[in-house]
């Protein structure tokens, strides 16, 4: 029971409760104002600054990982096709949490000569400082930053690299240690350049890898177009059956398989974790609420778009995909290759490389920013980079169970602390939301 709690057993229900609370508290803003959301997405950044689009591409690099594939395959295995419906529901609830944490990050960020920087640890510190709780502010924000560093080395590095090396070994027969060396050579020079170098690369890499994955998925669905309608129908038909509701709702909240799938996928879209605000805080934006809207876009791309097409490909790929029901990655690979042929396994390996590599870069940046919050000493940065290089190589060779447990604990603790802060700072979130959307809606109706 203690291990279940420490490794995230309470996180899914906490997310659902907090998400529903904020949807009601904000009166379903900004979701009920789609035209204003669209205007926020189209707002350009000042010349020379980090654009909102570049910031969201960096954040997406952290969310679009192998966890998407694992989470979807696990949901279908536990609850059947109907579990996907409840995944959509949970994503809808989660959007407001992503919006709220990004809004706070932009409101409480700092500025230096190279631009803006920030993260959840800054609004945590500011919140307690404003209530004269200086020691609490230092301790809680410091713990949050330390947990971010731990998760950057564990979930953001070891686990992602291990997924890449496993796919390469299984399909390409490439020794895992070679994969480790290749990834270290590809990642470390970019990471050393800092957030600007990482965000510049992810701005190019994320749209390309997302488009490539979508093209491959759409190709499968076109070739199996006669079964797509039935796949959709099965999602809705089974959504309210006892088995699917158990897998999709009760399973999502309590079962070990979906809990671990959820935690290891960083809750798929990272909504409520307090991690993505680190990327968004750097954006040159007209309003905290406007940047928060990009968080909603992030959830849409991650869960509604990519998770849905993955689910449909797996569903139309039965029964071939079913042969690997105990291996989520191989379930997805077989679903694609059973329709497109063996060459698609090579493409899928490339996709896993891109997703995992982008996640490593993004989380390395989160770790660097968190370290900078704790200390500005150059030695600390060098030690962090050394530890990151070691983790890349170790992750390629093996992923110890202890790494999974530590990562699960870190992300569970991050999420719990962050959700608490969102509730404590709810009035500020509401004020910024009303300020932006009231101004935008003057003289218009949605």
Annotate 282-349 with DSSP letters as a single string.
T---S-HHHHHHHHHHHHIIIIIIIIHHHHHHHHHTTTTGGGGTT-HHHHHHHHHHHHH-THHHHHHH
Residue 200 covered by a domain: yes
pLDDT averaged per 10 residues, the chain (length 446): 56 82 91 82 65 76 67 70 76 87 94 85 95 94 94 86 83 87 90 78 80 88 90 81 50 40 48 86 86 88 84 81 62 81 82 84 91 92 93 84 76 90 95 82 42
Sign of the four-CA dihedral 36, 39, 44, 46 = negative
What does the block give as tokens for 416?
């719990």
pLDDT (0 to 100) of residue 148 = 94
pTM, full prediction: 0.84
The answer to whether position 386 is within a domain reads: yes
Structure tokens at 142: 């410091």
Find out whether 216 and 349 touch, Cβ atoms under 8 Å.
Answer: no
Domain limits for position 263: 51-422
Provide the token pair at 32: 């009920």
Task: State the sign of the Cα–Cα–Cα–Cα dihedral 83, 88, 91, 93.
Answer: negative
- Identify the burial level of 175 via C-beta atoms within 10 angstroms of its C-beta, where 0-12 means exposed, 13-18 middle and 19 or more buried: middle
Copy the structure tokens of residue 215. Answer: 């093209």
Query: Looking at the domain assignment, is residue 443 inside a domain?
Result: no
Task: List the Cα angle 104/270/238 in 5-degree steps.
Answer: 130
Asked whether residue 36 is assigned to any structural domain, the reply reads no
- Evaluate whether residue 433 is within a structural domain: no
**What is the rounded distance in angstroms from the CA atom of residue 251 to the CA atom of residue 147?**
27
Q: What pLDDT score was predicted for residue 256?
A: 40
Distance of CA 369 to CAs 9, 165, 195, 281, 399, Å?
A: 28, 27, 8, 11, 25
CATH code where residue 220 lies: 1.20.1740.10
For residue 69, being part of any structural domain is answered with: yes
Reference 94, options 210, 6, 13; nearest CA is 13
> Are 149 and 393 contacting, i.e. CB atoms less than 8 angstroms apart?
no
Residue 25 lies in a domain: no
Model pLDDT, residue 261: 37
Residue of 3, 18, 2, 4 whose CA lies nearest to 416: 18
pLDDT at position 350: 83
Nearest Cα to Cα of residue 429 among 100, 71, 32, 69: 100
Rg (CA), the chain: 21
Cβ neighbors of 29 (< 8 A, separation 6 or more) are 433, 434, 437
Q: How many residues does the chain have?
A: 446
- Paired with 111 in beta bridges are 116
Residue 2 belongs to a domain: no
User: Who's near 178: CB < 8 A, 6+ residues apart?
Assistant: none
Tokens standing for residue 85: 């419906």
Number of domains in the chain: 1
């Amino acid at each position: 029971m203690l291990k279940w709690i420490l490794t995230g057993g309470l996180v899914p229900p906490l997310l659902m409760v907090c998400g529903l609370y904020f949807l009601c508290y904000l009166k379903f803003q900004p979701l009920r104002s789609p035209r204003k959301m669209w205007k926020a997405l189209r707002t350009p950044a000042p010349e020379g600054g980090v654009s909102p689009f570049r910031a969201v591409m960096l954040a997406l690099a952290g969310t679009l990982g192998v966890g998407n594939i694992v989470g979807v395959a696990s949901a279908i295995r536990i609850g059947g096709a109907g579990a996907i419906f409840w995944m959509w529901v949970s994503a809808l609830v989660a959007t407001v949490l992503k919006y709220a944490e990004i809004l706070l990050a932009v409101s409480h960020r700092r500025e230096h000569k190279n631009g803006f920087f920030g993260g959840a640890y800054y609004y945590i510190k500011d919140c307690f400082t404003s209530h004269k709780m200086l020691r609490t502010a230092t301790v809680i924000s410091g713990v949050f930053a330390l947990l971010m560093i731990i998760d950057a080395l564990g979930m953001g590095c070891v686990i992602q690299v291990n997924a890449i090396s496993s796919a390469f070994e299984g399909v390409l027969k490439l020794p895992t240690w070679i994969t480790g060396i290749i990834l270290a050579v590809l990642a470390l020079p970019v990471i050393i350049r800092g957030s600007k170098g990482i965000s510049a690369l992810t701005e190019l890499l994320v749209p390309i890898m997302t488009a490539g994955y979508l093209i491959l998925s759409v190709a499968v669905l076109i070739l199996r177009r006669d079964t797509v309608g039935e796949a959709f129908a099965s999602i809705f038909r089974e959504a309210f059956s006892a088995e699917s509701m158990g897998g999709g709702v009760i399973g999502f909240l309590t079962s070990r398989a979906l809990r671990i799938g959820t935690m290891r996928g960083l809750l798929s879209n990272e909504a409520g974790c307090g991690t993505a605000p680190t990327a968004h805080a750097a954006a040159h934006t007209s309003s905290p609420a406007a940047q928060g809207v990009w968080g909603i876009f992030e959830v849409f791309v991650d869960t509604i778009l990519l998770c849905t097409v993955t689910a449909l490909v797996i569903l139309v790929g039965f029964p071939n995909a079913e042969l690997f029901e105990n291996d989520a990655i191989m379930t997805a690979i077989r679903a694609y290759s059973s329709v497109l042929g063996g060459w698609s396994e090579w493409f899928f390996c490339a996709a896993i490389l891109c997703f995992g590599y982008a996640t490593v870069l993004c989380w390395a940046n989160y770790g660097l920013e968190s370290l900078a919050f704790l200390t500005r000493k150059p030695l600390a940065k060098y030690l962090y980079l050394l530890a990151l290089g070691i983790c890349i190589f170790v992750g390629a060779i093996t992923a110890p169970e202890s790494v999974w447990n530590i990562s699960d604990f870190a992300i569970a603790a991050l999420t719990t602390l962050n959700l608490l802060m969102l509730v404590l700072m709810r009035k500020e979130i509401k004020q910024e939301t009303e300020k932006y959307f009231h101004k935008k809606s003057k003289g218009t109706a949605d």
